[in-house]
Structure 1
Amino acid sequence: MKKLIMIISIVLVCSCAFAKTPPDSVKKAFAKKFPTATKVSWGVEGPKEWEAEFTFEGSKISANFSDDGTWLETEREIKAVDLPKAVLESVKSKYSDWKIVEADKTETSKNGTIYEVDLKKGMKSKSLAFKENGMSIKE
């Protein structure tokens, strides 16, 4: 009987992963956090992590949840001018001749809010991450 239950569990988990349909715990947590989301599409982000891409309050957003429905992070693209002043100053001080091609605001359950900036200079590109106070956390 235990083997049968284990086999059924594995089949259910695999079928959800292949069908790109998250478990009910994830769908419920998502609906609670983003009740008015539209155009939702799901993908598998990792072995026990799901990512939803959707529109919420006029913005295109992605959010990640663990299999048990725990929210992990939310990422939204923002305009470069909407970056915190300290982040813009940090970027300009070290990369004044680079162009900001994309900026994202990521809220995480572990690290709080992080701002990611993608830069381009000719054929070179670089991705950076900062805390709101302009402190670099990834260069």
Structure 2
Amino acid sequence: MKKLAVFLLLFGAIACGAKTEIPKKVMKTFKSKYKRAVNAEWISGQGVFEVSFRHETFEKVANFQEDGTWIETITYLSSDQIMTCITDYVDEYHYGGQIIEAEFVENPDKEIYSIIVEGEIESYDEDPYDEDNRRENHEESIQLMFDADCSFLEGE
């Protein structure tokens, strides 16, 4: 019964729009990293604080630990914000596929582009001119990863 009462209390607080209490260290790190951020909306859970916001011309989501340590930022890219080298790669190796989602993911260890390509895709394992590497056309969605220098890392 006590668990039910706690659940109802928490559910009621969320439903009534209770604001997430952001630790000062988290807020300080966020404000120093994203000085021109606007429309920040916070949520938290299990010691992680996530903020969705607009920074310059980009929509972003950043995560911070309770002690203010930055974990990761995801920047959502529109089609005109995707690097040409990535669109060229998709055009060359995944004929017929369209980029439906693009993100730039940063964390303390690396920076990568994550691209989702969907459609009737004719793809190649390596060399598009080598018939042995050619795969059949099929409807699918694949994720492609590139490093910050636009080098292809992997695809699923």
- What TM-score comes out, normalization by structure 1 length? 0.71
- Quote the Cα distance in structure 2 between the aligned partners of 1:53 and 1:125: 26
Give the 3-state SS of the residue equivalent to 2:95 in structure 1: coil
1:43-81 CA distances to partner (integer Å, 9 max, x unpaired)?
23x633221101122322111112211112222222334
**Aligned partners of 1:90 and 1:134 also within 8 Å:** no
Give the 3-state SS of the residue equivalent to 1:21 in structure 2: coil
Q: Structure 1 residues 47 and 137 mapped into 2: Cα distance closer, same or farther (>3 Å)?
A: farther
Q: Structure 1 residues 93 and 136 mapped into 2: Cα distance closer, same or farther (>3 Å)?
A: farther
- Quote the Cα distance in structure 1 between the aligned partners of 2:115 and 2:79: 8
**Aligned partners of 1:29 and 1:71 also within 8 Å:** yes
- Quote the Cα distance in structure 1 between the aligned partners of 2:155 and 2:48: 23
- Quote the Cα distance in structure 1 between the aligned partners of 2:46 and 2:117: 31
- The runs of 5 or more residues in structure 2 that have no matched partner are 1-17, 121-138
Q: Which has the larger radius of gyration?
A: 2
- Quote the Cα distance in structure 2 between the aligned partners of 1:133 and 1:59: 19
Q: CA RMSD in A?
A: 2.4
Q: Structure 1 residues 57 and 97 mapped into 2: Cα distance closer, same or farther (>3 Å)?
A: same
Aligned to 2:146: 130
Q: Kindly indicate whether residue 113 of structure 2 is the aligned counterpart of residue 98 of structure 1.
A: no
- Quote the Cα distance in structure 2 between the aligned partners of 1:90 and 1:108: 24
Amino acid at match of 2:105: T
Q: Structure 1 residues 98 and 106 mapped into 2: Cα distance closer, same or farther (>3 Å)?
A: same
- Trace 1:50-129 onto structure 2 (pairs within 5 A): 50-111=49-110, 113-121=111-119, 124-129=140-145
Give the 3-state SS of the residue equivalent to 1:30 in structure 2: helix
Q: Percent identity?
A: 26
State how many pairs are aligned: 120
**Aligned partners of 2:142 and 2:155 also within 8 Å:** no
